[in-house]
Amino acid sequence: MELRQLEYFYKVGTFENFTRAAQLLHVSQPSVTKAIKSLEAELQLTLIDRSQKKISLTEEGKVFFEHTKKIIQAVEDAHQDMQRFKLQKNNIIRFGLPPMVESYLFPNLFIKFQTAHPEISLEIKEFANSDEILQKLRDGIFDFGIIFKSCDQKNKLSTNILDDEFKLCLAKNHKLLSLNEITFENLKDEKFILPKAGTYQHQKILEICSKYSYEPKILLCTSQLKTLKQLVAAGTGISFLPSFAISSNENFCQRKIFPSIKFHVTLVWARSKNLPANYKLFIDFVENSFVIGDLIAT
């Protein structure tokens, strides 16, 4: 039994199509067919039912598919682990960050860590949203990410950096400022300026508006924080920003919104049973040595 045979079977079992599997594997279809027939001969079992126009896994094939899936994942994990140890030798830690974290939270983290450990380099790349960062992390593109997540979400491979909440941002002359308490019910007729679709902020706003039985009137979605702030200050629309991204001298007002939108800013890392020493050192640094009050860049 060869790993190549298992990879071919896994692709065929996933898509239930020899042609599609061959295309993804960049090999000829006869090569895939031959490898799986050889596998069936070795096991003395039929793994794929070819009696119908559309192939399907037999009962034995379904069980073997689950074992194959675990083997393929274990091989990928082993490869990613070895890549991490290779990077460790070069003293490199790779990071994925969403835009606001890169602008407001990461600079001071970077400076403090580099001061404490000048021998280790941090490579960063910005991604559009937390979901994309988690996917890239699973794919082994990088080793750590910083994401936004709800307070009720659990993840063993993570540690919270900051607890925060989104504030409603309004022009200084906005009529809603006369209210003692502003709720989402009061925002039905407002024009919203939001981060791009797919971001944690965007999803949460739409979710809460839906609970109040309306769809927000979205004027603009942008990843440019400066643009968003300028439009709010000009009275073009309202928005929501985390407290850490709002300074005391902004040209607009910030207010609590009810219900509040609280969240964690969280450090997450790749799944591994054997993290390299540099990675453990970095996690320990964040958990034990980092002063949360000093996180925000001024």
Residues 95 and 55 in one domain: no
Q: What percent of the chain shows pLDDT beyond 90?
A: 32
Helix (H) or strand (E) holding 264: strand 262-269
Q: Which domain holds residue 240?
A: 163-263
* Average model confidence (pLDDT) across the chain: 86
Residues 228 and 205 in one domain: yes
Residues 132 and 278 in one domain: yes
Assess whether pLDDT exceeds 60 at residue 293: no
Single out the residue in 78, 110, 139 at which a domain terminates.
78
Top pLDDT among 212 and 279 is at 212
In this prediction, residue 88 has a pLDDT band, given cuts at 50, 70 and 90, of low
Residues 203 and 253 in one domain: yes
Single out the residue in 50, 78, 106 at which a domain terminates.
78
The count of other CB atoms within 10 Å of the CB of residue 272 is 16
Assess whether pLDDT exceeds 50 at residue 297: no
**Overall number of domains in the chain:** 3
CA dist 5 and 3 (Å) reads 5
Sequence-separated contacts (24+) of 223-231 with Cβ below 8 Å: 223/99, 223/128, 223/195, 223/196, 225/99, 225/100, 225/103, 228/193, 228/195, 229/169, 231/193
Residues 167 and 243 in one domain: yes
Residues 30 and 107 in one domain: no
Assess whether pLDDT exceeds 80 at residue 292: no
Assess whether pLDDT exceeds 60 at residue 6: yes
Helix (H) or strand (E) holding 144: strand 144-150
The CATH number of residue 116's host domain is 3.40.190.10
Residues 228 and 270 in one domain: no
Single out the residue in 43, 78, 113 at which a domain terminates.
78
Say which DSSP state 193 is in. Answer: E
Residues 141 and 201 in one domain: no
Three-state DSSP at 131 gives helix
What are the structure tokens assigned to 171, written together? Answer: 């022009």
Residues 144 and 172 in one domain: no
Residues 44 and 61 in one domain: yes
Tell me the whole-structure pTM to 2 decimals. Answer: 0.66
CA dist 298 and 291 (Å) reads 15
% helix, strand, coil for the chain, step of 5: 50, 20, 30
CA dist 80 and 146 (Å) reads 19
In this prediction, residue 74 has a pLDDT band, given cuts at 50, 70 and 90, of confident
Residues 170 and 255 in one domain: yes
The CATH number of residue 18's host domain is 1.10.10.10
The CATH number of residue 211's host domain is 3.40.190.290
Assess whether pLDDT exceeds 70 at residue 241: yes
Point out the least confidently predicted range of 62-76, 167-181, 277-291.
Answer: 277-291
Dump pLDDT digits (tens) for 122-179.
888 888 788 888 888 888 788 889 898 886 666 677 888 888 999 999 999 999 999 9
Strands 182-183 and 257-258: parallel
Q: What is the mean pLDDT of residues 100-121?
A: 83
Residues 145 and 186 in one domain: no
Q: What percent of the chain shows pLDDT beyond 70?
A: 90
What are the structure tokens assigned to 77, written together? Answer: 């994990």
